[in-house]
Amino acid sequence: MKLLVRAELRRLLATRMWSALLLAAAVLGGAMFGAMALVGPENFDPPMPGLDTETGLRAILGILGYTAFVPAAAGAIAATSEHRHHTAAVTFLFAPRRGRVLAAKLATYAVAGLAYGVVLAGSAGAALFTVAAARGISLGMPAGTVLALLARIGVAMMVYVLIGAGMGALIRNQVAALCVVIGYLYVGEPVLMMIPGVNALYPILPGGATAALTDFTYLADAMSDQLGSGTVPLLPPVVGGLVLSAYALTAAAIAVLIPMRRDVT
């Protein structure tokens, strides 16, 4: 197993995608998030509460959480790469126990996802505190709470790499996997939320679980307002994180079980 993880780490680190991913984390966290903080949510269109309020601060952090499609896409690309480039046969020649190969991949991507989350949350935190100091704003929440929220966003990023990887391993076709993962996150789930009755499920859907993990209720509240329904209560953060991980593990488990029987051609 140690050998397999080392092999997968080498496989991942040798691609350009890996450096591009860390760069994306720094750009999203440092540059994009920093720019948003600099402009200030109160100057958005439509205007949102400012950084000196708790609502405003939570909202802007929630927007950062919405970049989870980047690690999800990276996970899907990494997990479908062997199928796309026909290296799966070579890999299974070296390691005929296919479940272990996939487990090693997931372990590797978890480490990579954590690195992405640390860079994203770290650069966003640095940008936020720098901008607040420069603009002379006192943030709407204590620094400790902000840091804890950032850490939760970082963890969410890691889980999203695994969700993408699990779906990728299951679907195998790279383009299809990307369409399903990103399409669900940005089209499928918002549509589901508009269907009366189904929106009660929101807390246990990936988006709702992410919102619980990152304490981001702005979108859910806005949607409930528009639909005139009552506020949908989110799960506690830890449970949200567990639900999110369960999605990743379920996709991965199905992917582990199916390839055992599939012929590799």
Partner 1 sequence: MTIEVSRLTKRYGDVTAVRDLSFTVAPGVVTGFLGPNGAGKTTTMRMMTGLVSPTSGTATIGGRPYRKLARPSRTVGAVFDANAFHPGHTARDHLRVYAAMGGYPDSRVTHLLDLLGLAEAADRRIRGFSTGMRQRLNLATAMLGDPRVLLLDEPSNGLDPEGMSWLRGLLRRLADQGRTVLVSSHALSEIQQFVDDVVVIRRGELVAAGPWSRLAGPPLVLITTPDAADLAAALAAGPAAQVEAVSADRLRVRGLDAPSVADLAAARGLRIHELVTENASLEQLFLRLTTDQAATR
Query: Which residues in this chain contact partner 1 in the complex, by CB under 8 A?
Result: 3-4, 6-7, 10-11, 14-17, 81, 85-87, 89-97, 261, 263-265
Nearer to partner 1, 90 or 238 (CB): 90
- Provide the 3-class DSSP secondary structure of residue 32: helix
CB distance 162 to 73 below 8 Å? no
Q: Which is nearer to partner 1, 80 or 123 (CB)?
A: 80
Choose between 77 and 170: whose C-beta lies nearer to partner 1: 77
Phi then psi for 139, rounded to 5 degrees? -60, 150
User: Least CB distance from residue 247 to partner 1, whole Å?
Assistant: 27
| H or E element at residue 247 | helix 237-257
CA angle 49, 191, 166 (to 5 degrees): 95
> Which token pair is 48?
């949102």
The token pair at 255 is 């992917």
Contact between residue 157 and residue 120 where contact means Cβ atoms under 8 Å apart: yes
Token duo for residue 83: 């199928």
CB of residue 169 to partner 1, shortest distance in Å? 17
We find the least distance from the C-beta atom of residue 173 to partner 1, in angstroms, to be 17
Least distance to partner 1 from the beta carbon of 19, Å?
11
Q: Residue 1: how many CB atoms within 10 A of its CB?
A: 12
Please tell me the distance from the alpha carbon of residue 222 to that of residue 224, in angstroms, as a whole number. 6
Residues 90, 156: Cα–Cα separation, whole Å? 33
DSSP H helices, 136-214, are 143-171, 174-183, 189-194, 206-214
**Considering the complex, what minimum distance in angstroms separates the CB of residue 84 from partner 1?**
9
- Are 81 and 21 within 8 A, CB to CB? no
**Complex with partner 1: residue 17 or 126, whichever CB lies closer:** 17
- Toward partner 1, which CB reaches closer, 17 or 147? 17
Q: At closest approach, how far in Å is the CB of 17 from partner 1?
A: 8
Instruction: Please identify, using beta-carbon distances, which residue of 8 and 215 lies nearer to partner 1.
Output: 8
Question: What is the closest distance, in whole angstroms, from the C-beta atom of residue 108 to partner 1 in the complex?
Answer: 11
DSSP-derived secondary structure letter, 236: P
Return the number of the residue (91 or 123) whose C-beta is nearest partner 1: 91
